[in-house]
Every structure is written in structure tokens, then in C-alpha cells.
Amino acid sequence: MDKTPIILDTDIGSDIDDAVALAYLLKQPRCELLGITTVTGEPEKRAALASAICHAGGRDEVPIHVGTEPPFLVEPRQQKAGQYEALSDKWPHKEFSKENTALNFLRDTIRSRPGEITLLTIGPLTNIALLFTIDPELPALLKALVMMGGRFFSKPGESLVAEWNIVCDPHAAAKVFMSPVPRLVAVGLDVTTQCVMDADECRQRFTAAGGPLASVAAMAEIWFRHAPHITFHDPLAAALIFEPSLCKTKAALVEVDLVNPSTVGHTNPVYTQETKPHELAAAVNSQAFFDHYFAVVGT
């Protein structure tokens, strides 16, 4: 079976869906998970959470690297990794220092396998924008970049809103969207908000699946203190790498608003024939997604 080499860049520890996506990647037989890098506030605690999930899934060999904490130019919006409090002796894990080892790991790994690696980003894009600034040749050395981020399409009479991963570091997002990646796929709120499961069903299905999802179920209890459900934003982006038929896409070039204070972080699609467009998820078969997700994690 051919495997897809993937690096995961994540802000695991805030919204629970990052952990749900990591559990999927660990169980996906077609995924060669080359490593995990963390981003935003308390990245060392986010790395510990990733370590606990990898251990629960029997995947201690997956490299985990601490990344960048502050955004480029805006005030930090995401300073705490709230789900870290779920870690205990029940969920063995490694602890990490704040030393940023992610950028060197990303650079060395991508350069070692030119044209092979899919970079999956499910958090703010600070690490990746810094990486592309330090080494401008790297974007072209990827096979693809798949991100959970943005919102691109509005219905009549409806205003676009800025999505969290983009608004947390809009300047980083703008840098990434302007980079010469061979293929960039963006999975935004247009489709992810249609993939929702209530807390009780999540508890039941995560527990039944076991493995890495057993640790995620414990972390999810912290999330459920403030939310009655999980929206599978990040797992959908991960699944789309292996099952592209789950979403229909539209081609457009994305521009990130950095000028207007009231719309900073908005992701605006521009339809042009002059520049290689991005692929923007526009519609999703949510039932097919859930069927696929739980078929993978239940194996």
C-alpha cells in the first residue's frame, strides 16, 4: 500500500478537533506521519498533548516538535492550552521545553524528500510563514499544503466572517497563501460547520473506538464544559487528503484582508486566469465523512 508522507502542524489543546484529527492520522493506514509541530500559546504543553495521544495509539516513534508561540504582528488571541489539564498518570506522555525545534525539523524533513510531502496545517499559520520566510525555496519542494482555515463563500445577504486560524495570525496566513506551493487546498467554515456531532454521541463513539481516541475522549471532557458538541473542522481537512471525493472544490486565488480593521483576516476569493488558483472546499458530504472517519479510527 502506497502511503502519503504527512507533517502535521497543529494548535492542539484549544479546540478539541485537533486531537480528533491526530487520532485519525495515527489510525489511517495510508498515512506516513513524519512528525508533528505545535503552534501558538504554550506550544510545549500542546506538544505534551500530542505525545499522550501518540502513546495511547502505540505510536511513540512519531517525532513531536515545539513551534512558535507569538503571532507576527497582532496581539495573541490563544495563549493557553486548556486541555493540558486532562493529562495525568493515566495518559503517559513526554514533557517538552519551550525551545523551538519545529522550524529546523520542518526545513530538514521537507528538503530530504522534495516533491513528496503533504503539509497539513490545522492551526494558525505562524510556523509555516516563518519557515517560508527563512527558506523561500521550501514551498516549491512540497507536494501539497492542505489547511483548515478561512471562509470563502457567502450566501445572498450573508456577510463573510474571519475564521479563527486565520485571524489569530492574518499576516502569516497572507504569506502562506502567496507562497508558490505546487498545490494548496483550503478547507474552511463553509464545509466544516456541516460536520457536527453532539457530546453524547462523541463520548460513545470515541470510547468504542478506543486506541488514541480513548485519550481524546478524556481531553474532550474539558471541551464539553463549554460546548455541547464537536465540529470536525480539522478531521475533515485530514480526511480530504485520502478521500478527496468528500468535498467539492472551487478554484480561486485567496487574498487575506490586512487593511480594514473590521475585516482583518477575511479570506477573499479572487477569480483570475493569470495566477495558479487555490482549491477551496465548497460543499461536503457530511454523512460520507463521518462514515469514513469512524471506519478508519475503529480499525
All structural domains of the chain? 4-297 (3.90.245.10)
Give the count of beta carbons closer than 10 Å to the beta carbon of residue 59.
Answer: 17
Distance of alpha carbon 175 from alpha carbon 162, whole angstroms: 16
- b/e per residue 178-190 (b: at least 16 CB within 10 A): bbebeebbbbbbb
pLDDT at residue 10 above 90? yes
Residue 274: what pLDDT?
A: 74
pLDDT at residue 195 above 80? yes
- Give me the amino acid identity at 160: L
**Mean pLDDT of the 208-222 span:** 96
Q: Are 152 and 190 in contact (CB under 8 A)?
A: yes
> Which of 118-122, 134-138, 159-163, 170-174 is the least confident region?
159-163
Give Cβ neighbours of residue 242 (< 8 Å, ≥ 6 apart): 4, 28, 30, 31
**Mean pLDDT of the 35-50 span:** 98
pLDDT at residue 143 above 90? yes
**Mean pLDDT of the 118-138 span:** 98
Among 233, 266, 278, 292, the active-site one is 233
Residue 154: what pLDDT?
A: 81
Burial status of residue 265 (CB atoms within 10 A of its CB: 0-12, 13-18, 19 or more): buried
Distance of alpha carbon 61 from alpha carbon 34, whole angstroms: 9
pTM: 0.97
| Residue 171 among the catalytic residues | no
Q: Are 17 and 235 in contact (CB under 8 A)?
A: yes
Distance of alpha carbon 196 from alpha carbon 50, whole angstroms: 23
pLDDT at residue 158 above 90? no
